């Protein structure tokens, strides 16, 4: 498996401070909870929603811990998504240095406002050129707890689920935030800030949670109706960063993890649409390819141009594309 250039931070410090304002806190279950969207805090649900949108776009993701953010091998990462409200000061400094060297940081509402001791931390907020009016730390005890709280104006109006934060853009300085998108009430929804050779994107909402809740239908047992608008907003930083991905699929809602070996590549195609669709799959190959076959369809015709191999095939629920060197 090749290391993905896209990463999501797994919160470690944050769970220590969840629901501390409750005298008798409701039950939050993370380790043994089979439901990704309930019985958790909003920043954990957000992490899952971001991962889902990236899956649906055939973008492989690796999960990193807070220690990894200060290590040298993290530098190969192109895009990092962070949802955690608490982050060690040295991890925040590591992320900032990585951004300055060319990384793209994507932050959701309430991200990185506190250090590991739950004391105010302004490192990434100041770098992003924004100041939240108040910290956001939404619990998600039940799936239905995430209500529509407004709309975001993109190419279309996108319903926003869950809490929103009020962002103030800091006065003009070295890190001047650009207002990229607004909510329909005119307040900032997404800011973009150039920092050194990289940039920071700050959502004033939970885009991943909103993407998950946009699926209000069910097709053959799978959630369906996912918002294309939210999916594009979530994955666009990866496109803009020019991250080299092992697989490209012509249609959305297809997950395509690739496993590399000395003899070839195996690509698992998982169709989230719930109905069959014709897809074109392009796979990055390390060397000349002798043959390509499908676990469902057998041998396939293919074209190779440089290190890219392209095939067309009808995709049902699942298939395995086998590329042989």
Residue appearing with tokens 């000349």: 288
Residue 133, SS3 per DSSP: coil
Residue 106, SS3 per DSSP: strand
List the single range of 29-33, 58-62, 74-78, 309-313 with lowest mean pLDDT. Answer: 29-33
d(CA 262, CA 155): 44
d(CA 111, CA 260): 35
Q: Give the predicted TM-score (pTM) of the model.
A: 0.95
Planar angle of CA 266, 230, 217, nearest 5 degrees: 80
Q: Which residues pair with 266 in a beta bridge?
A: 259, 322
Average pLDDT over the chain reads 94
Task: Please compute the mean of the pLDDT values over residues 197-217 and round it to a whole number.
Answer: 97
280: which DSSP letter? E
Whether residue 290 is predicted with pLDDT greater than 80 in this model: the reply is yes
d(CA 242, CA 258): 19
- Per residue in 156-179, pLDDT (tens digit) is 999 999 999 999 998 866 678 999
For residues 211 and 156, the model is more confident at 211
What's the Cα-to-Cα distance from 101 to each of 63, 98, 125, 202, rounded to whole Å? 21, 5, 18, 19
Whether residue 104 is predicted with pLDDT greater than 70 in this model: the reply is yes
Q: Are 191 and 180 in contact (CB under 8 A)?
A: yes
Q: Are 190 and 201 in contact (CB under 8 A)?
A: yes
Percentage of residues of the chain with pLDDT beyond 90? 85
Q: Are 295 and 322 in contact (CB under 8 A)?
A: yes
Residue 8, SS3 per DSSP: strand
- Per residue in 115-160, pLDDT (tens digit) is 999 999 999 999 999 999 999 999 988 898 899 999 999 989 999 9
Query: What pLDDT is attached to residue 155?
Result: 86
Cα four-point dihedral sign 299, 305, 309, 311: negative
Nearest to 204 by CA among 243, 155, 240, 153: 153
């Amino acid at each position: 498996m090749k290391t993905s250039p896209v990463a999501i931070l797994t919160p470690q410090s944050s769970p220590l401070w969840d629901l501390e304002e409750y005298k008798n806190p409701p039950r939050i279950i993370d380790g043994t909870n089979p439901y990704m969207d309930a019985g958790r805090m909003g920043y954990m649900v957000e992490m899952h929603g971001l991962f889902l949108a990236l899956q649906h776009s055939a973008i492989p993701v690796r999960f990193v811990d807070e220690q990894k953010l200060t290590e040298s091998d993290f530098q190969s990462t192109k895009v990092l998504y962070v949802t955690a409200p608490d982050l060690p000061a040295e991890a925040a400094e590591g992320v900032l240095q990585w951004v300055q060297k060319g990384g793209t940081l994507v932050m959701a509402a309430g991200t990185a406002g506190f250090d590991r001791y739950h004391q105010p931390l302004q490192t990434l907020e100041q770098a992003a050129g924004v100041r939240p009016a108040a910290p956001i730390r939404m619990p998600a005890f039940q799936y239905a707890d995430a209500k529509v709280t407004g709309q975001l104006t993109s190419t279309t109006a996108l319903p926003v689920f869950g809490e929103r934060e009020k962002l103030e853009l800091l006065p003009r300085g070295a890190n001047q935030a650009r207002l990229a998108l607004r909510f329909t009430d005119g307040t900032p929804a997404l800011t973009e800030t150039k920092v050194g050779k990289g940039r920071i994107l700050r959502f004033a909402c939970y885009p991943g949670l909103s993407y998950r809740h946009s699926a209000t239908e069910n097709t053959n047992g799978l959630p369906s109706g996912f918002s294309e608008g939210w999916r594009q907003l979530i994955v666009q930083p990866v496109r803009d960063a020019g991250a080299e991905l092992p697989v490209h699929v012509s249609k959305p809602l297809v997950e395509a993890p690739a496993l590399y070996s000395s003899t070839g590549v195996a690509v698992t195609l998982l169709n989230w649409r719930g109905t069959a669709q014709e897809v074109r799959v392009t796979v990055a190959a390390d060397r000349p390819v002798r043959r390509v076959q499908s676990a469902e369809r057998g041998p396939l015709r293919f074209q190779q141009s440089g290190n890219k191999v392209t095939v067309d095939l009808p995709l049902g629920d699942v298939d395995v594309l086998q590329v042989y060197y």
